């Protein structure tokens, strides 16, 4: 029998909370307040890993004896980071860009324990079906896109238009929980 140690989740994401709860992981939420601006020339994978580390380390300063988990997710297509849309028109633009194509979902995950940080990045490929303007509008209006990287939630209305997923489904939802498990449980004493 294993025992999952309690975590401090350095995130306000309801999806990350739902994923941890669904696997029975006890945690407390403490959202990190960091600058998420991309640095000039920063590539997508190092970008999400840096943000995950910065979130975890910012929150860990308040919880020196705890295990703190930070994460950041983005969508990448044509080597371009597709973050959260600024409004519904931006969401429609993103969905049109993704329609009929494969893209990558990257999540940086960082764990801080005893002032030491370890981190990694999970990558999952997702393919959207071709979508008509009416379908794009439906997803923008009904899919609650404004707080989601790439303007969609795979576990909600976007599921109607997903043709394929290669890799970790939970990564696309917002937290690759197997990677979290590996970092927390299989790297003792880091």
Domains in the chain, please, with CATH?
Answer: 7-185 (3.90.950.10)
Residue 64 CB neighbours (<10 A): 10
Q: How far apart are CA 31 and CA 144, in angstroms?
A: 21
Q: Report the percentage of the chain scoring pLDDT > 70.
A: 98
Phi, psi of 160 (to 5 degrees): -65, -20
Judged against a pLDDT cut of 90, whether residue 5 lies above it is answered with yes
Q: Are strands 162-166 and 116-128 parallel, antiparallel or unpaired?
A: antiparallel
DSSP 34: -
State pTM to two decimals. 0.93
Residue 107 CB neighbours (<10 A): 29
Give one word for 134, left, alpha or beta, with left for phi > 0 and alpha for psi -120 to 50.
Answer: alpha
Q: Which residues contact 16 (CB under 8 A, 6 or more apart)?
A: 9, 71, 174, 175
Judged against a pLDDT cut of 60, whether residue 151 lies above it is answered with yes
Residue 112: closest CA among 179, 176, 65? 65
pLDDT at position 144: 85
* Residues annotated as part of the active site: 72
Q: How far apart are CA 55 and CA 189, in angstroms?
A: 21
Residues 116-138: pLDDT tens digits? 999 999 999 999 999 999 999 99
């Amino acid at each position: 029998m294993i025992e999952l140690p309690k975590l401090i989740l350095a995130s306000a994401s309801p999806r990350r909370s739902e994923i941890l709860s669904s696997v029975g992981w006890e945690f407390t939420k403490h959202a990190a307040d960091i600058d998420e601006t991309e640095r000039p020339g920063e590539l997508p994978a190092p970008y999400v890993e840096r943000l995950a580390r910065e979130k975890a380390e910012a929150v860990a300063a308040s919880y020196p004896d705890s295990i703190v988990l930070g994460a950041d997710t983005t969508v990448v297509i044509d080597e371009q980071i597709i973050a959260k849309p600024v409004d519904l028109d931006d969401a429609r633009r993103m969905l049109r860009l993704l329609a009929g194509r494969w893209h990558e979902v990257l999540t940086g995950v960082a764990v801080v324990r005893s002032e030491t940080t370890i981190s990694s990045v999970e990558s999952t490929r997702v393919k959207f079906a071709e979508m008509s303007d009416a379908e794009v509008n439906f997803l923008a209006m009904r899919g609650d896109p404004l707080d989601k990287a790439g303007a969609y939630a795979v576990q909600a209305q976007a599921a109607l238009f997903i043709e394929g997923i290669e890799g970790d489904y939970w990564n696309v939802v917002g937290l690759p929980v197997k990677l979290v498990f590996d970092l927390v449980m299989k790297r003792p004493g880091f």
